[in-house]
Amino acid sequence: MEILTVRDLSFKYSLGDKDAISGISFGVEEGAFVAVCGPTGCGKSTLLRMLKKELIPMGDIKGEVLLDGVPLSEIDARTSASAVGFVMQRPEHQIVTDKVWHELAFGLENLGLPQDVIRRRVSEIASYFDIEDWFERDVADLSGGQKQLLNLASIMVMQPRLLILDEPTSQLDPIAASDFIATVRKLNTDMGLTVIMVEHRLQEVIPAASMLMIMDKGTLLHYGPARQVCEEVSDRPDLLAAMPSTVRLFKAMGGQGRCPLTIGEGRRWVEGFGCKVQPDFKAFDAARDETPDNDVPALEFSDVWFRYGRDLHDVLRGTTFSVEQGEVFCILGGNGSGKTTCLGAAAGLNKPYSGTVKVFGKNVRDYKNQTLYRNCLTMLPQDVQTVFLKNTVREELKDAGESAAALPYDIESLMDKHPYDLSGGEQQLVALAKVLASQPRILLLDEPTKGIDTYSSERISGILRSLAEGGMTIVLVTHDVEFASRTADRCAMFFRGEVTSVGRPREFFSENNFYTTAVNRMTRGSFKGCVTLEDAVYALKLQDQELSAVEG
Amino acid sequence: MRSFKDHNPISVFVFYIFAIVPAMFCINPVLMCISLAGGVSFRLAKDGLGALKKMLPFFAFPLLGVILNPLFVHKGVTPLFILNNNPVTLEAVLFGLTLGAMICSTVIWFSSFNSIMTTDKLLYVFGSVSPKIALILSMTLRYIPLYGQQIKKVRQAQIVTGLYKEDNAIDKIRGGLRIMSVMVSWALENGIITADSMSARGYGAGRRSRFTIFGWRTADVALAVLCAALGVVTSVCMGIGHLAFEWYPEIVSPGMSAPAVTAYIAYALLCAIPTVLQIREEARWRSLQSEI
């Protein structure tokens, strides 16, 4: 039984000059889990909004959307509000009230349900989502992951039949994101809830999804069972970039046979190549192996201790490490391990109570009157929206005194847009352009790939590499192991306010069991030190050649 | 187990209104003593002997009244001594003492009010007027910390990106204005998401109801009714019995007329309620605890 039917749907924004989506038709079976993906600006978010009556934007609609065979426009407001649930990207701004319990009750209050019905439903949902412990807390005190879980719970309390999620995990760290996806998956299997989810963490979503939809330029490119679509998808780099590593490796090796979706399947698939020859990855590391020759480190922490308040606990506990000039140094680690605090200490925002932080051999404290930030060090905060002050990208750059032509990348097409209207990846590029205006010698970045699709994150990785080759020192904090493995000269593991291990990406990730790339987890049994997609392709091709040499 | 503070916030609120307001309009030493005794004994019952130390500074008010009032007011028929050619009168001293005691008892009642009536309880009390007001208050309380955090982030971002001077006061004012203007567009931009989230969950689809985590039990209703009854009796008797003292030129007490005695008894019973409930709960808890 189809719960949702979309027939020949086209939509043009009232201010737009062409269709945002055009001629889309598909049906969703009750209980299905549909994953939707596609490059930025392909119309995924517009399509999702067309499925929720209350969120349909202003513009011209052609075609129809049927829920249980009834056109959306004919469904009354109360039924529509509860039948279709919608979770958005930013956890912070979907929350309406100040207390967790009030947020859970908000939707039911809107439906005008009596107090005892609300009480029953709220307590039921609070125990299902295991949020009894923070039921009476202020929402302001919750972590990002808890906030998004609360958003999901406060929609599930309305007992929807169709749940729509628009990149719900893009602002979460990997652990919180997999918890969130696991919860959605559980709702799908436990309750038979129909789910439509846009995601760029496909590695985790695709194994859960029964159907996969790929969109491009406002049209439906593929729609079908997940494995089938993965096998059929074309080799276009921007489409492939969004795919899980297993699928990308499968495609890179010619795409014959059954496509592996999970890491486990990927492992067996790699083993199928025989894997007799150990590849040598030296050639890949040549560019990144040379140790820069200079006596003064760009950034040096020695035995740094820091806490936010006299009575609070230590966040940095004897942090010691040094970053050479011209290298890209990635700090990885769990949530609350002190990574961001450490970056704040390097930028002089957090003043340690013991130990020293030196920038180019000079104590950060001795840089008076902001000289630290003049042509020396600059930091791009995690929430890049905080950097934007003007109404267009052009004014933004003018304000910073930067010309688009001087940038190592092209943002000409974005110049007349409002910074808030850009996609996550574009925002990151514009913010980066702005901070580069002060011509820093050290660039600090906090989670530069948060909320960004893989294609943009690969682009940012390339830009950072070229900046580093120009002599800039880059220190970045990230959760994104794939990004770190591609970008870093050296990686450091941060745990409980200390650097517990430092190493070149290849050794660093091959020694880690959990904190490592999907490719490394797939090839761990077969090859040593295989970390990135390129490594794996090289290694597997080597096996093929060996095989044909033996046969020949 | 429910002590006074765990009752429905409306009952608790009703109590505080009747305990504080009537006494404020009637400068009567007997009422002041009752109010003070009630307030102090409740704090002691609730927080233990340590509360005594915290309440001590409040007793500066009667002392200040005794010293300051006679310095400015020279009415009264019983001069005690002459200071700077002005008489210091007994009437002025006693009025100062009573007025100081009134302020002291009010402050002590408020100190327990503050620790019991947290923001969510106050929200519940004022939100009872209408679900709309409840929602507006709740959203406001949500936005204050959210905006505060964002302002802090924007400020830090401006410092570390090194694009703006912060050398003197004018630069700092400019920085402040920049933050103000960016906060306005940030709030509008993200307000759209909140608005979407509200309409997606059926806001505006019809008449709203209101959910609270505070319920009404028999004891809550009884407490509210009792407090209101005692409070009304006190107020009415105050009205017909003219309980207010005349202080100048000569102290005239209203005496122990029937309405006055009724008012004193009713007010004393009212002020004793929280202490009695507190002690009773503790005693019950102790006896129950011994059986665990």
Residue type, B123: L
Instruction: Say what the pTM is.
Output: 0.84
Q: Which residue in chain B has the smallest CA separation from A384?
A: B157
To 5 degrees, how large is the angle CA B12–CA B14–CA B15? 65
Question: In this model, does residue B78 exceed pLDDT 70?
Answer: yes
Query: In sequence order, which residues have a C-beta less than 8 Å from that of residue A202 and are 6 or more positions away?
Result: A35, A37, A242, A243, A244
Do B232 and B101 have their domain in common? yes
Cβ atoms < 10 Å from Cβ of A420 = 15
Judge whether B174 is closer than 8 Å to chain A, CB to CB.
no
Structure tokens at A406: 């001087």
- Domain assignment present for residue B39? The answer is yes
Contacts of A82 in chain B (CB under 8 A): 202
Examine the fold and report which residue of B150, B174, B200 is the final residue of a domain before the chain moves on: B200
- Domain assignment present for residue B245? The answer is yes
Confidence of residue A289 (pLDDT cuts 50, 70, 90): low
Do B103 and B222 have their domain in common? yes
- Domain assignment present for residue B229? The answer is yes
Contacts of A55 in chain B (CB under 8 A): 196, 199-200
Alpha-helix runs per DSSP H in A56-114:
77-83, 91-94, 100-110
- Domain assignment present for residue B208? The answer is no
Q: Which of B138, B186, B200 sits opposite A86 (nearest CB)?
A: B200
Judge whether A388 is closer than 8 Å to chain B, CB to CB.
yes
How many residues does this entry show for chain B?
292
ipTM surpassing 0.85: no
Judge whether B206 is closer than 8 Å to chain A, CB to CB.
yes
Do B193 and B247 have their domain in common? no
* Segments forming the whole domain that contains residue B53: 4-120+217-289
CA dist., res. A196 & res. A168, Å (int): 11
- Residues A486-506: tens digit of each pLDDT: 999 999 999 888 999 999 998
CA dist., res. B51 & res. A290, Å (int): 68
Do B196 and B131 have their domain in common? yes
Do B111 and B238 have their domain in common? yes
Say yes or no for a CB contact (<8 Å) between B141 and A107. Answer: no
CA dist., res. B98 & res. B90, Å (int): 12
Judge whether A470 is closer than 8 Å to chain B, CB to CB.
no
Distance from CA of A232 to the nearest CA of B (A): 36
Q: Which of A102, A112, A348 sits opposite B208 (nearest CB)?
A: A112
- Residues A191-216: tens digit of each pLDDT: 999 999 998 878 889 988 999 999 99
Do B162 and B63 have their domain in common? no
| Superfamily name and number for A2-235 | P-loop containing nucleotide triphosphate hydrolases (3.40.50.300)
How far are the Cα atoms of A140, A151, B122, B139, B174 from residue B134, in angstroms, in the given order?
18, 20, 10, 9, 37
Using a 10 angstrom Cβ sphere, with 0-12 exposed, 13-18 middle and 19 or more buried, the burial of residue A314 is middle
Architecture of A297-516 per CATH? 3-Layer(aba) Sandwich (3.40)
Q: Is A194 helix (H, G, I), strand (E, B) or coil?
A: strand
Contacts of A101 in chain B (CB under 8 A): 211, 213
Distance from CA of B165 to the nearest CA of A (A): 8
Say yes or no for a CB contact (<8 Å) between A88 and B196. Answer: yes
The CATH 3.40.50.300 domain(s) of chain A lie at 2-235, 297-516
Do B95 and B133 have their domain in common? no
- Domain assignment present for residue B58? The answer is yes
- Residues A11-67: tens digit of each pLDDT: 999 888 888 999 999 999 999 999 998 888 888 989 999 999 999 999 999 999 999
The total number of structural domains that make up chain B: 2
- Domain assignment present for residue B205? The answer is no
Q: Which residue in chain A has the smallest CA separation from B189?
A: A420
Judge whether B262 is closer than 8 Å to chain A, CB to CB.
no
Q: What's the confidence (pLDDT) of residue B257?
A: 85
- Residues A145-192: tens digit of each pLDDT: 999 999 999 999 999 999 999 999 988 888 888 899 999 999 999 999
DSSP assignments along A470-517, one per residue: TT-EEEEE-S-HHHHHHH-SEEEEEETTEEEEEE-HHHHHHH-SSSS-
Cα-Cα-Cα-Cα dihedral sign, residues A156, A158, A162, A163: negative
Say yes or no for a CB contact (<8 Å) between B160 and A420. Answer: no
- The 3-class secondary structure across A195-227, one letter per residue, is EEEECCCHHHHCCCCCEEEEEECCEEEEEEEHH
- Domain assignment present for residue B38? The answer is yes
Do B195 and B182 have their domain in common? yes
Do B110 and B243 have their domain in common? yes
Contact present, A475 and A441 (Cβ < 8 Å): no
Confidence of residue A473 (pLDDT cuts 50, 70, 90): very high
Do B108 and B249 have their domain in common? yes
Question: In this model, does residue A309 exceed pLDDT 90?
Answer: no
Do B13 and B90 have their domain in common? yes
Q: Which of A52, A138, A391 sits opposite B200 (nearest CB)?
A: A52
Say yes or no for a CB contact (<8 Å) between B146 and A92. Answer: yes
Judge whether A106 is closer than 8 Å to chain B, CB to CB.
yes
Examine the fold and report which residue of B171, B200, B229 is the final residue of a domain before the chain moves on: B200
Do B44 and B133 have their domain in common? no
DSSP assignments along A78-94, one per residue: HHHHHHEEEE-S-HHHH
Contact present, A188 and A208 (Cβ < 8 Å): yes
Say yes or no for a CB contact (<8 Å) between B207 and A81. Answer: no
Q: What's the confidence (pLDDT) of residue A290?
A: 62
